[in-house]
Amino acid sequence: MPPFQKRSATSRKAAAAIKPDRHTLRDQVLDAIRKAGALGATDEEIQQRTGMNPSTQRPRRIELVTLLRVADSGTTRKTTSGRAATVWVVL
């Protein structure tokens, strides 16, 4: 089962609904980061490249971190709102 907020029935239902597609979605996120090369990609950039909703993309990236496929590069880049965002790279 994909991650969900245990105290939220809607989060649990969303996790169950995404379960059949999560590997494909995870691969899309990994591919977007891989294509960014040494520059890596922020969550916002991944969302722009894949067309994914943040609530779909971010959990897939978290899964990739847990699986040791993706890591924090140690750098940040500004988002469109001007805030610093972690840059993710493929391991």
pLDDT score at 47: 98
Is residue 69 in some structural domain? yes
Residue 83, C-beta contacts closer than 8 angstroms, at least 6 positions apart: none
Encoding tokens for residue 23?
A: 């590997």
Number of structural domains, the chain? 1
Residue 77 has pLDDT above 70, yes or no: yes
pLDDT, tens digit, 9 for 90 and up, residues 17-67: 767 666 799 999 999 999 999 999 999 999 999 999 999 999 999 999 999
* 48 located within any domain: yes
82, two tokens = 């001007």
pLDDT band at 2 (very low <50, low <70, confident <90, very high): low
Nearest alpha-carbon partner for 40 in 65, 70, 10, 67: 70
Position 3 in a domain: no
What is the model's pLDDT at position 13?
A: 81
The model carries a pTM of: 0.78
